[in-house]
């Protein structure tokens, strides 16, 4: 059985695609965080060069940060609620269509 799984061409292709997409995705996430770090670094250099204060430079981020935190919190609660609901559906009716769809 192990040999069948290893030599199956469909599974080989899926593994290769998953590997490259995983690499691409992690590279993009790392690049995004590096971009943010460099942006703050350039912004700090500009602020010090022109003698601006922190509030003058980062006022938009200060105003938007509570809204971003609320959106992240609501999103995480939505995902948490969906997982709880899925677990409940899976326990009550394991043969339902949604469970079969998500399990396959």
Tell me: do 2 and 44 sit in the same domain.
yes
Tell me: do 71 and 87 sit in the same domain.
yes
- pLDDT tens, residue by residue, 26-67: 899 999 999 999 999 999 999 999 999 888 888 998 999 999
Q: Domain limits at 101?
A: 59-104
Question: How many domains does the chain fold into?
Answer: 2
Q: What is the pLDDT of residue 16?
A: 84
Q: Residue 97: is its pLDDT beyond 70? A: yes
Question: pTM of the predicted model, to two decimals?
Answer: 0.52
Tell me: do 74 and 35 sit in the same domain.
no
Tell me: do 7 and 47 sit in the same domain.
yes
Q: What is the pLDDT of residue 79?
A: 95
Tell me: do 29 and 76 sit in the same domain.
no
Tell me: do 66 and 47 sit in the same domain.
no
Please give the sequence-ordered ranges of beta strands (E in DSSP) within 1-104, or none if there are none.
Answer: none
């Amino acid at each position: 059985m192990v040999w069948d799984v290893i030599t199956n061409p469909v599974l080989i292709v899926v593994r290769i695609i998953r590997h490259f997409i995983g690499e691409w995705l992690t590279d993009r996430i790392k690049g995004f965080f590096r971009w943010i770090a460099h942006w703050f670094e350039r912004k700090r250099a500009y602020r010090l060069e022109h003698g601006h204060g922190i509030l003058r430079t980062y006022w938009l981020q200060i105003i938007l940060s509570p809204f971003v935190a609320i959106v992240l919190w609501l999103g995480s609660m939505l995902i948490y609620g969906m997982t709880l609901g899925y677990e409940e559906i899976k326990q009550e009716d394991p043969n339902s269509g949604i469970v079969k769809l998500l399990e396959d």
